[in-house]
Structure 1
Amino acid sequence: MKSKPNFVFQIPLTFFITHWFLLAFHGSAESSTYIVHMDKSLFPNVFTTHRYWFESTIDSIKSATLGDSSEQSPKLVYSYNHAMFGFSAVLSSEELEAVKNSHGFVAAYPDRSATIDTTHTFEFLSLDSSSGLWHASNFGEDVIVGVIDSGVWPESESFKDDGMTKKIPERWKGTCEEGQEFNTSMCNFKLIGARYFNKGVIAANSNVSVSMNSARDTEGHGTHTSSTVAGNYVSGASFFGYAKGVARGIAPRARLAMYKVVWEEGRVASDVLAGMDQAIADGVDVISISMGFDGVPLYEDPIAIASFAAMEKGVLVSSSAGNEGPDLGTLHNGIPWILTVAAGTIDRTFGGTLVLGNGQTIIGWTLFPANALVENLPLIYNKNLSACNSVKLLSTVATEGIILCDSLSDHELMLKQRRFVNEASLLGAVFISDSPLLNESRNFISPSVVISVQDAEHVIKYAKSHKKPTASIKFQQTFVGTKPAPAAASYTSRGPSPSYHGVLKPDIMAPGSHVLAAFNPHLRAASIGTNVILPNDYSFLSGTSMACPHASGVSALLKAAHPQWSAAAIRSALVTTASPLDNTQNPIRDYGYHPSQYASPLAIGAGQINPNKALDPGLIYDATPQDYVNLLCALKYTQKQILTITRSTSYNCSKPSFDLNYPSFIVFYNNKTRSVVHKFRRTVTNVGDDAASYRAKVTQPSAFVVTVSPESLAFRYKNEKLNYDVIIKYRKYEKENISFGDLVWIEDGGAHSVRSPIVVAPSGIV
């Protein structure tokens, strides 16, 4: 195993940060926020509301402690009347004492940083509710997830087996394979299997020397994805103070099996096939694979081939869409019989509080990995320096202060600014940008923060109007509840699928940006400057590789709750219950383009995964292996090509059909043709508890008209199947563009709504 001496990380870091401490100016003691409880029974009748009472209390201590002419004053933050009775306020120690002597005072204590659950995504997905999928599935107990990746770091606390049942399911046929720095004792009741496959890599280069000939992870990727799927509970996890709290996987009671197929020396299809083959043989219930193969037909795609066999056995395969966005048609794993997952942002940001000398506070974005003192330093803003594009100028003029750089919309230019500021060894920097790409970056190697263009106006005004402007920056802050969220990440690959564009891909979107999960503790997690490398047990990673295991974990939960469901049924439940809206109840935005632009299903599929609704979808679109073969036959694949996928001659081509029973619709058109674009036939199965009636509601794609027949469906009993048709026609001639809408089957009484996205696009994008 490659190792790095710890002192390399510790000594330079201490020296580097101490350098800032000695140069920083220490201001006087600051006010703090306190939570104050008041006695509701002593509420004075002179006030009409509790807030007036609290405001009066604050006003009464202003003159008592500071005088009416003072610029400083206590500040009411919140008033409370339900969860508690009282208020929170920014108070000095003297003001706090005055509050304690006020009428009705009960208790006061300092405001505390909230303990955020570190992945947080389970909370963002509402899995932490008192009912729902977590509880219905018993947290995924005894479901086995096979992860196809770069291996695992078995010593991570995420893979401890505390709380796991001590009996592994009898269907499990796998093993814990010994290898370099990996023995069987490293598996347990959580990590029940670990195997490695590198014969393909060795065969491709007979002179290769495999650096870690075992299932041990030397890249960190597999450790991160597997702990995201089903990692155990770990207290105190964080990324250098950011997102501090309790880490856990999406299915924390599921079992894990690692199949290492990704190597520093290469990654080849043969090894991937071997890993997936073994996972199926071992008896896994879900396969999570955060990789893909570009530019290959289905019959040459190892993931397509292996996942067909998995699907036959009821194993759902969850895969990543790729990170080649925002261009269209960059998606991989557009395989009709698997789940393809796009990546979105979450409602959590990491700060960066910029405090100006006049007391004004601005929240910015940063992941600088240290609690550096950048306090009461000169704020430098002038034409010669503000471009931040000259290391020489910055080094000679701005080393003793915080530089305010010019606003930039270009992401690459912003990265250059960061590099120049770091090379100049500045004590602090403020960058200005509204680019959403910056919120996907974690490369903060100098003490700096990014603020919005709107906030920058206040900073510039302050800097210009004061002879000696000053500022401070506070780091290691975490903010939850950011709006809007989610948004389609800029990097997530878009459809249509090059391997087969007749099925809408991706299927859904899941959290993929700044996901905190277990990591190889001997690798770089962050840096300070260019010479201080920081390892960590947990790290933030972004990508569809991070979104995929979220969907894999939810699939494991659904498998535990509905063991009889097919892979297609689970995928259908995820698709038809996904939400196209963000937390402002507006359509999800696309950060790959302008931040205000709404995302199309080619970026987000049906929308953000909604685990609790997927538990009870009402209706499902199921599909059999023969249904997929009918599609392959319609594609005019040869018998041999089909056989490479199906491995069996028992399937036939008597009913070739492009009309796969899929829970979404996509059509390509040519403006020269104004006839019927397409007709679909769909079959839905009632998985509700009893008889139910549904009515169709259609949101029409622009320039097209969608008709549904029949417009209502009446199910007499559970598991009954009914058919309906969808016809998409031109409505009027318009400039070629991508338009989208949806079909929602709404149950009478409102218990269920079953939504399918509709995309109509010009044939030229294929």
Structure 2
Amino acid sequence: MLVKAVPLVLFSWFLLANHAWTQRSTYIVHMDKSSMPKAFASGHHWYSSTLGSIKSVGLKSSDGDQPGPRLVHSYDNAFHGFSAVMSKDELESLRRSPGFLSAHVDRPLIPDTTHTSKFLGLNTASGIWPASQYGKDVVIGVVDSGIWPESPSFRDEGMTEVPARWRGACVVGQDFNSSLCNKKIIGARWFNQGVLAANPDVTISMNSTRDTYGHGTHVASIAAGNYVKDVSFFGYAPGTARGVAPHARLAIYKVLWDEGSYESDALAGIDQAVADGVDVLSISLSYRTIDLYENPIAIAAFGAMEKGILVSVSAGNRGPNFGTVLEGIPWAVIAASGTVDRWFAGILTLGNGLTIMGWTMFPARATVRNLPLYYNKTLSACNSAELLADAPSAIIICIQSFDTAEFSDQISYVSQSNAPAAVFISEDTSIIRSTSFPYPGVVITPKEGKRVISYASNSSEPTASINFQQTILGKEPRPAPAVSESSSRGPARSYPGILKPDIMAPGVLILAAYNPYTSVANIGSNIALSSDYNLESGTSMACPHISGVAALLKAAHPEWSPAAIRSAMMTTANPTDNTQKPIKDMGSNYHVATPLDMGAGQVDPNRALDPGLIYDATTQDYVNLVCALNYTREQTQSIIRSSYNCSSPSTDLNYPAFVALYDPLQERTTLTQKFQRTLTNVGNGAATYKVKVKKPKASVITVSPEKLVFQKKNEKQRFSLTISYKTYKDYTINHGSITWVEENGKHTVRSPIVVTPPEPS
């Protein structure tokens, strides 16, 4: 059963469950102060009196206390009114009070998916948003599962007429007419001939660009969704949804189908996007093929690059193992996935007053209040319904480890017991990537779990409360960003001599538009919930963030090539988290991440707007690279297609990173590799830069010259970097960086250096 009327279902379910009292929220109330009776000396007294006159209609909590409205703040200067905790019925009573104007639910202060634009530093006052006019008129082609065009994220308020240069079309299909396109969605096409060819008897359930899954809708709104106020995922991540480039256009190419997905359809979609005239291609999908000449995305991306189109591709979700990036396309930007500084919390409060911030995604607006807390060492495995049959009606403590049931199984078993809620103790970081939390509970760490178990074991009548739907921002409980455990790691098997992934962007639990008739959460085993906005994780979500930033840069610098845009993002990327320490890797127990995990670092759109220097590359530079890969003539031709000149083959691409490979079988050998690079000054005039080197362990770095002097804008200067390094038999990865620092200026141009084996052991 799929439920759309979420509030009614949640409320009735909790009355039946009998472990939460009347739903209560904090409301901000606007009052007409001119209606205040003269008997009151101040607004504060009037507000307090008004609240006191409201008869509580709430149920009693489990400890017998009668709830009632409670004043939180009084406002009497810029705003006339107050904030108060009350039930919906109490609010209705308040509406009849003299002077009442309006009220709305209090939400965390997240003016901006709802938070990632702010996390990336995007703002309306300065930087790349106003400089690019929010990506105005740049067309992002999204090759995915289609789009749900009715989503508010795809309204076209505030957008100008469609550019005359646009050659695309809005193709009519099943449940999709031309009126569903607008100034935001300016193109819609679908490609399923490959599906039908492989399965002649299949019937396509939705023969149009309409998205029956949700994935394509999600990534499109991340890249270029318009502003939508007051969205959330069942109370989590509340705020204003907006894409990275909210005034960019969207052209949708549906190539993923419920009935199957084939490379031929993906190639057709990308090919048509190039013909239509997109500026950026966003491709959140990958294939199992390894060799570039057999990779349809790599081949199509080369053609797109020739036309000046930047191609952004997801790194894949095969991490955290070394060498799991399959899309190692030198002429595309490969996006890794990182966390954001947002935590979806359940606040666990013990009867002794101890408060612990745990993790939960339970999709109900509920409060588990002052219920008994129960711990039994045998039952704590929570690994069978029979074991939990004798559990009391109390909040039960479950311990999840490699020796016990999976977290999802524990939830299933506990939900069949008498326990109205649970505290799960686990150190499994993958839990926080899942939105599946159908039972009222909270996950805490083993360290916190010891304190909870101690209290439950040593107190005569232990109790606990849990508050759900809490969204916490900032540095706690973990700094951000951190590399997602599932994000694929380099080096790329297709070509390990270039750094992949290139860069990292937010990709863990990103809120964006979705198919509103797809189940995205559950309460218990038989109530399925849908939502207009969904939280999704993966490099699929990181990729459209990069696509959106590329669109902003293209709008601000229309003359820049795809390589220039990539360089600007990479050389200004941030290798540190929000505590100013090196970004950590979730997949290695929060050790320092390497460039093979995160590329150059977390994308920084505002700094990328003005990078100072760029590493540019032409089509011929990429041809020279392909010619040097020892492919056959036919294999080479399959990538670069047209007539080409292979007279100067070179793997030394003018790329903003340096990868030195070694063979672990050649233990304790010293190798030397020399790189040549050309930098272009894109600053506003003459500039001088000096190099700063942070060498990898057991290596020697020489840069010549150590100073670059540019007399004017667009001038080019060359330098060489030579690295001497030792080999290791244990597949050790060492990394460092070089940074060109502008004298008496603001620019720093950083490039990673990696010493690594070419492939896993």
TM-score (norm. length: structure 2): 0.87
Among 648, 655, 669, the alignment partner of 2:648 is: 655
Give 1:481-496 correspondences, 5 Å limit. 481-482=474-475, 483-496=478-491
Pair 1:621 & 2:618 matched: no
Corresponding residue of 2:523: 528
Corresponding residue of 1:611: 605
Among 492, 511, 515, the alignment partner of 2:506 is: 511
State the alpha-carbon separation in 2 of the partners of residues 731 and 260 from structure 1.
48
Among 128, 138, 144, the alignment partner of 2:123 is: 128
Corresponding residue of 1:264: 258
Pair 1:16 & 2:13 matched: yes
CA contact (8 A) 1:395 1:426 kept: no
CA contact (8 A) 1:705 1:731 kept: no
Corresponding residue of 1:43: none
CA contact (8 A) 2:344 2:469 kept: yes
CA contact (8 A) 1:145 1:254 kept: yes
CA contact (8 A) 1:437 1:591 kept: no
Cα drift, residue 448 of structure 1 = 0.5
State the alpha-carbon separation in 2 of the partners of residues 114 and 468 from structure 1.
34
State the alpha-carbon separation in 2 of the partners of residues 370 and 600 from structure 1.
39
Corresponding residue of 1:137: 132
Sequence identity (%): 55
Partner secondary structure for residue 391 of structure 1: coil
Partner secondary structure for residue 628 of structure 1: helix
Corresponding residue of 2:687: 692
The verdict on how the C-alpha distance between 1:410 and 1:284 changes in structure 2, with shifts beyond 3 A counting, is farther
Corresponding residue of 1:357: 351
Cα drift, residue 160 of structure 1 = 0.7
Cα drift, residue 486 of structure 1 = 0.3
The verdict on how the C-alpha distance between 1:531 and 1:658 changes in structure 2, with shifts beyond 3 A counting, is same
Corresponding residue of 1:401: 394
State the alpha-carbon separation in 2 of the partners of residues 171 and 426 from structure 1.
63
The verdict on how the C-alpha distance between 1:10 and 1:486 changes in structure 2, with shifts beyond 3 A counting, is closer
Corresponding residue of 1:705: 700
Corresponding residue of 1:752: 747
Cα drift, residue 213 of structure 1 = 0.3
Corresponding residue of 1:479: 472
1:117-136 CA-partner distances (Å, limit 9, x unpaired): 35300000000262101111
State the alpha-carbon separation in 1 of the partners of residues 755 and 421 from structure 2.
50
Among 702, 725, 728, the alignment partner of 1:730 is: 725
CA contact (8 A) 1:337 1:568 kept: yes
Matched residue pairs, number? 692
The verdict on how the C-alpha distance between 1:613 and 1:182 changes in structure 2, with shifts beyond 3 A counting, is same
Partner secondary structure for residue 389 of structure 2: helix
- Equivalent residue letter for 2:498: V
State the alpha-carbon separation in 1 of the partners of residues 389 and 182 from structure 2.
54
Cα drift, residue 115 of structure 1 = 3.8
Among 674, 689, 702, the alignment partner of 1:679 is: 674
State the alpha-carbon separation in 2 of the partners of residues 276 and 32 from structure 1.
48
- Equivalent residue letter for 2:428: S
Partner secondary structure for residue 466 of structure 2: strand
Cα drift, residue 25 of structure 1 = 7.1
Cα drift, residue 703 of structure 1 = 1.2
State the alpha-carbon separation in 1 of the partners of residues 25 and 218 from structure 2.
40
- Equivalent residue letter for 2:358: G
The verdict on how the C-alpha distance between 1:501 and 1:735 changes in structure 2, with shifts beyond 3 A counting, is closer
State the alpha-carbon separation in 2 of the partners of residues 608 and 222 from structure 1.
24
Corresponding residue of 2:108: 114
The verdict on how the C-alpha distance between 1:733 and 1:555 changes in structure 2, with shifts beyond 3 A counting, is closer
Pair 1:160 & 2:155 matched: yes
Cα drift, residue 411 of structure 1 = 9.6
CA contact (8 A) 1:33 1:91 kept: no
Corresponding residue of 1:303: 297
- Equivalent residue letter for 1:196: W
- Equivalent residue letter for 1:313: K
Cα drift, residue 313 of structure 1 = 1.1
TM-score (norm. length: structure 1): 0.86
Cα drift, residue 594 of structure 1 = 1.0
Cα drift, residue 641 of structure 1 = 2.0
Cα drift, residue 24 of structure 1 = 4.6
1:466-500 CA-partner distances (Å, limit 9, x unpaired): 21111111111111113410000000001111111
State the alpha-carbon separation in 2 of the partners of residues 703 and 455 from structure 1.
40
Which 5+ residue runs of structure 1 have no aligned equivalent? 35-77, 93-108
State the alpha-carbon separation in 2 of the partners of residues 208 and 659 from structure 1.
48
Cα drift, residue 295 of structure 1 = 2.5
Q: Higher mean Cα deviation, 723-732 or 445-454?
A: 723-732
- Equivalent residue letter for 1:602: L
State the alpha-carbon separation in 1 of the partners of residues 298 and 292 from structure 2.
6
Corresponding residue of 1:563: 558
The verdict on how the C-alpha distance between 1:731 and 1:499 changes in structure 2, with shifts beyond 3 A counting, is closer
- Equivalent residue letter for 1:456: G
Pair 1:552 & 2:536 matched: no
State the alpha-carbon separation in 2 of the partners of residues 463 and 33 from structure 1.
37
CA contact (8 A) 2:337 2:484 kept: yes
Give 1:334-373 correspondences, 5 Å limit. 334-373=328-367
CA contact (8 A) 1:26 1:376 kept: no
Corresponding residue of 2:89: none
Cα drift, residue 307 of structure 1 = 0.9
- Equivalent residue letter for 1:513: V
CA contact (8 A) 1:346 1:511 kept: yes
Cα drift, residue 164 of structure 1 = 0.8
Corresponding residue of 1:57: none
State the alpha-carbon separation in 1 of the partners of residues 230 and 242 from structure 2.
11
Cα drift, residue 645 of structure 1 = 1.7
1:402-443 CA-partner distances (Å, limit 9, x unpaired): 011225368973333223222326310011123322221221
Among 462, 465, 488, the alignment partner of 1:469 is: 462
Pair 1:634 & 2:628 matched: yes
Partner secondary structure for residue 588 of structure 2: coil
Cα drift, residue 90 of structure 1 = 13
Give 1:450-469 correspondences, 5 Å limit. 450-469=443-462
The verdict on how the C-alpha distance between 1:224 and 1:727 changes in structure 2, with shifts beyond 3 A counting, is same
The verdict on how the C-alpha distance between 1:522 and 1:163 changes in structure 2, with shifts beyond 3 A counting, is same
Partner secondary structure for residue 697 of structure 1: strand
Cα drift, residue 763 of structure 1 = 4.4
Cα drift, residue 396 of structure 1 = 2.3
Corresponding residue of 2:229: 235
State the alpha-carbon separation in 2 of the partners of residues 458 and 359 from structure 1.
12
Q: Higher mean Cα deviation, 480-489 or 667-676?
A: 667-676
State the alpha-carbon separation in 2 of the partners of residues 472 and 735 from structure 1.
49
- Equivalent residue letter for 1:700: K
State the alpha-carbon separation in 1 of the partners of residues 417 and 402 from structure 2.
23
- Equivalent residue letter for 1:499: S
The verdict on how the C-alpha distance between 1:414 and 1:645 changes in structure 2, with shifts beyond 3 A counting, is same
Corresponding residue of 2:269: 275
Partner secondary structure for residue 666 of structure 1: strand
- Equivalent residue letter for 2:231: A
Which 5+ residue runs of structure 2 have no aligned equivalent? 30-71, 87-102
RMSD: 2.8
- Equivalent residue letter for 2:15: T
1:251-283 CA-partner distances (Å, limit 9, x unpaired): 000010100000011111110111011111111
Cα drift, residue 16 of structure 1 = 2.9
CA contact (8 A) 1:147 1:258 kept: yes
- Equivalent residue letter for 1:447: P
CA contact (8 A) 2:381 2:405 kept: no
Pair 1:179 & 2:176 matched: no
Among 585, 596, 607, the alignment partner of 1:590 is: 585
Cα drift, residue 231 of structure 1 = 0.5
CA contact (8 A) 1:411 1:438 kept: no
Cα drift, residue 677 of structure 1 = 2.7
State the alpha-carbon separation in 1 of the partners of residues 705 and 85 from structure 2.
66
State the alpha-carbon separation in 2 of the partners of residues 33 and 199 from structure 1.
54
State the alpha-carbon separation in 2 of the partners of residues 5 and 379 from structure 1.
33
